[in-house]
């Protein structure tokens, strides 16, 4: 007899584990099948958490290196980073958080079934972990199998010298030189980490600007900042070949002007995106409609097969642009769990998803970029305010960057907020709430921002959108 549950979740990443806890809270009997030895998926083990832990180490090193500025007497020129200690601290944080998810499963009576899941049809799931066991879902199966790093044709990832973020996060040494293919969030975060640790960093981006999904003004500011601190940026450029040896990688780059450049680096990090994980799932076997390898879903995350939903990095709505973000997968997980439990749920608005890129300087953005707003036919009005004018930014010694607001000139609707600079990944929460509450730019102007804070730049950028910034 198969083990029966109301809901079976496949994958315990930020999509799957959150869906499972919410379903259990709503009184459903839930099992989660996870093949890794720990819970939490990409975010906890190879993504959000370990990368941001490394960024905090990079920031600590920066404070020591700038000690003279702070009036602290140490020999800053002798400051180095101890990678063994860095990994020890990072692994402790990751271990604590994955154990935390285990605790939450116990608290909510969610069963963790260890092993690899295969869909068998009719609500059935086979799980193999040495031995095979058979489960059956009375209500729904939620597929949350996530994503893994994706390479590019012609560049062979050997995971020793030509690596992905999965290996970069565990590098035992600080590379003398590293080239990074791709300047999305993963690429520019690792560029910031390794540059601060002491590596010579080169970024190669195929598109004409860094962080191509961001507002163009943000891309330009990041490139200016990276170049100022010595990170080489090739945009509109292509890695044409990469040959790995025991000691390093010979990389050929075709620059934007068509000229070929040779780079000798210790590592090439391929950060060109992530693809869906469905290997061994038998998704097509049970009739799931797929699109470029992703599982196709509707706005309520139903797949083409009744009784099977899918969420997170593994899904597509059939058009480009489903964000592969931890908080998106969790929001989808909660929505699906509530739908299965019979709650009244509304589709998520993907224009209100905040994006955070934890490079140095940080980027926070939500809503439409200036270009997207124009493409959608808005009468676009923008306002920008530099952080550097603010007392708080001067005190922190972090004067780079700005807040840019995109509004509609006719209705005054707030359409988007884009920022680069210290604390942008925190400040974006205010902008997200404002968009969610369908705020106007005027309402942001009349929102009182505490002084002295970095958040004052949001109020000032709103004033600037109406042509009247106070401190500029
Ligand atoms: C370097 C890096 C940094 C990132 N930083 C951020 C960030 O700062 N903020 C942010 O929002 N996002 C970030 N992300 C993205 C974020 O990690 C993902 O969007 C998120 O983890 C997706 O969650 P998920 O639940 O869809 O899938 P995953 O987290 O990938 O989880 C899927 C799980 O399913 C399991 N699984 C797969 N197939 C099976 C099977 N057949 N049987 C059993 N188990 C299976 C896997 O083992 C895995 O645990 C980052 C990603 C990377 C790589």
Average pLDDT estimate for 102-128: 98
pLDDT exceeds cutoff 90 at 332? yes
Average pLDDT estimate for 226-236: 97
**Would you say the CB of residue 341 lies under 6 angstroms from ligand 1?**
no
Place of tokens 């797929």: 290
Average pLDDT estimate for 265-291: 97
Average pLDDT estimate for 157-184: 97
Confidence (pLDDT) at 319:
87
| H/E segment holding residue 381 | strand 380-386
DSSP labels for 97-141? HHHHHHHHHHHTT-EEEESEEEEEETTEEEEEESEEEEEEEEEEE
Give the contacts of 96 (CB within 8 A, at least 6 positions apart).
Answer: none
Cα 91–Cα 281–Cα 21 angle in degrees, nearest 5:
55
Q: What are phi and psi of 84, to 5 degrees?
A: -60, -45
pLDDT exceeds cutoff 90 at 78? no
Confidence (pLDDT) at 121:
97
Average pLDDT estimate for 190-212: 97
Question: 241 and 251 in contact (C-beta within 8 Å)?
Answer: yes
Buried b / exposed e over 25-46, threshold 16 CB at 10 Å, is ebebbbbbbbbbebbbbbbbbb
Residue among 37, 48, 297 to mutate when testing ligand 1 (max atoms within 8 A of CB): 48
Confidence (pLDDT) at 352:
97
User: 3-class DSSP state for residue 121?
Assistant: strand
Confidence (pLDDT) at 471:
93
Q: What is the DSSP letter of 2?
A: P
Q: What is the DSSP letter of 292?
A: T
**What is the distance between the alpha carbons of residues 472 and 455, in angstroms, rounded to a whole number?**
16
Confidence (pLDDT) at 127:
98
Instruction: Convert the pLDDT of each residue in 16-30 to its tens digit.
Output: 999 999 999 999 999
User: How many Cα atoms sit within 13 Å of 247 on the Cβ side?
Assistant: 2
**What is the distance between the alpha carbons of residues 194 and 175, in angstroms, rounded to a whole number?**
8
Question: 334 and 386 in contact (C-beta within 8 Å)?
Answer: no
Instruction: Reply yes or no on whether 451 is catalytic.
Output: yes
Inter-axis angle of helices 48-65 and 185-197, nearest 10: 40
Q: Whose CA is nearest to atom 33 of ligand 1?
A: 11
Identify the burial level of 218 via C-beta atoms within 10 angstroms of its C-beta, where 0-12 means exposed, 13-18 middle and 19 or more buried. Answer: buried
Confidence (pLDDT) at 470:
94
User: Ligand 1 centroid to 299 CA: how many Å?
Assistant: 21
**Would you say the CB of residue 144 lies under 6 angstroms from ligand 1?**
yes
Cis, peptide link before residue 452, omega less than 30° from 0: yes
Kindly report the pTM of this predicted structure: 0.97
Instruction: Convert the pLDDT of each residue in 117-141 to its tens digit.
Output: 999 999 999 999 989 999 999 999 9
Average pLDDT estimate for 54-64: 95
**What is the distance between the alpha carbons of residues 265 and 52, in angstroms, rounded to a whole number?**
24
Confidence (pLDDT) at 1:
66
The two tokens of residue 75 are: 């020999």
Residue among 8, 17, 41 to mutate when testing ligand 1 (max atoms within 8 A of CB): 41
**What is the distance between the alpha carbons of residues 39 and 106, in angstroms, rounded to a whole number?**
12
**What is the distance between the alpha carbons of residues 304 and 415, in angstroms, rounded to a whole number?**
33
Catalytic residue, chosen from 59, 170, 451, 471, is 451
Question: 236 and 150 in contact (C-beta within 8 Å)?
Answer: no
Average pLDDT estimate for 346-370: 97
User: Mean pLDDT in the chain?
Assistant: 97
The two tokens of residue 428 are: 């974006």
Reference 380, options 416, 353, 351; nearest CA is 416
Confidence (pLDDT) at 320:
81
**What is the distance between the alpha carbons of residues 190 and 180, in angstroms, rounded to a whole number?**
8
Q: CA 371 from chain center: how many Å?
A: 22
Q: What is the DSSP letter of 390?
A: S
Q: Answer positive or negative: Cα dihedral of 25, 306, 320, 204.
A: positive
**Would you say the CB of residue 340 lies under 6 angstroms from ligand 1?**
no
Average pLDDT estimate for 147-156: 95
pLDDT cut 90: percent of the chain above it: 97
Instruction: Convert the pLDDT of each residue in 385-430 to its tens digit.
Output: 999 999 999 999 999 999 999 999 999 999 999 999 999 999 999 9
**What is the distance between the alpha carbons of residues 446 and 443, in angstroms, rounded to a whole number?**
5
User: 3-class DSSP state for residue 426?
Assistant: helix
């Amino acid at each position: 007899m198969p083990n029966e549950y109301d809901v079976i979740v496949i994958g315990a990443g930020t999509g799957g584990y959150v869906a499972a806890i919410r379903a259990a809270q709503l009184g459903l009997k839930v099992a989660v099948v996870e093949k890794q030895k720990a819970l939490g998926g990409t975010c906890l083990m190879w993504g959000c958490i370990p990368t941001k832990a490394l960024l905090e180490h990079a920031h600590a090193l920066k404070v020591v290196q700038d000690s003279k500025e702070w009036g602290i007497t140490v020999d800053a020129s002798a400051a180095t980073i101890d990678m063994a200690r860095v990994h020890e601290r990072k692994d402790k944080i990751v271990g604590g958080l994955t154990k935390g998810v285990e605790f939450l499963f116990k608290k909510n009576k969610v069963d963790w079934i260890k092993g690899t899941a295969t869909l068998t049809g009719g609500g059935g799931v086979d799980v193999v972990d040495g031995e095979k066991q058979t489960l059956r879902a009375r209500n729904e199966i939620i597929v949350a199998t996530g994503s893994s790093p994706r390479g590019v044709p012609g560049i062979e990832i050997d995971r020793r010298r030509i690596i992905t973020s999965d290996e970069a996060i565990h590098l035992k040494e600080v590379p003398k030189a590293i080239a990074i293919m791709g300047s999305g969030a993963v690429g520019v975060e690792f560029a910031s980490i390794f540059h601060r640790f002491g590596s010579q960093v080169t970024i190669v981006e195929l598109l004409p600007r860094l962080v191509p999904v961001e507002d163009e003004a943000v891309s330009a500011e990041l490139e200016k900042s990276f170049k100022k601190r010595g990170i080489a940026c090739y945009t509109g450029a292509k890695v044409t070949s990469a040959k790995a040896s025991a000691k390093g990688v010979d990389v050929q780059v075709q620059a934007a002007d068509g000229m070929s450049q040779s780079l000798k680096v210790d590592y090439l990090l391929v950060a060109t995106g992530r693809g869906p994980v469905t290997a061994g799932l038998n998704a097509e076997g049970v009739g799931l409609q797929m699109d470029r390898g992703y599982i196709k879903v509707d706005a309520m995350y139903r797949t083409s097969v009744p009784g099977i939903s899918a969420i997170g990095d593994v899904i597509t709505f059939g058009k480009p642009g489903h964000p592969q973000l931890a908080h998106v997968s969790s929001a989808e997980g909660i929505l699906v769990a509530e739908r299965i439990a019979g709650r009244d749920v509304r589709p998520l608005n993907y224009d209100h998803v905040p994006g955070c890129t934890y490079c140095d300087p940080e980027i926070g953005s939500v809503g439409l970029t200036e270009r997207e707003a124009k493409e959608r036919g808005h009468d676009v009005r923008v306002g920008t305010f530099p952080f550097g004018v603010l007392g708080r930014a001067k005190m922190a010694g972090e004067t780079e960057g700005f807040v840019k607001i995109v509004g509609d000139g006719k209705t005054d609707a707030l359409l988007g907020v884009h920022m680069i600079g210290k604390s942008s990944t925190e400040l974006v929460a205010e902008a997200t709430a404002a968009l969610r509450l369908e705020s106007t730019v005027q309402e942001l102007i009349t929102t009182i921002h505490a002084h002295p804070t970095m958040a004052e730049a949001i109020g000032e950028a709103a004033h600037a959108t109406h042509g009247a910034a106070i401190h500029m």
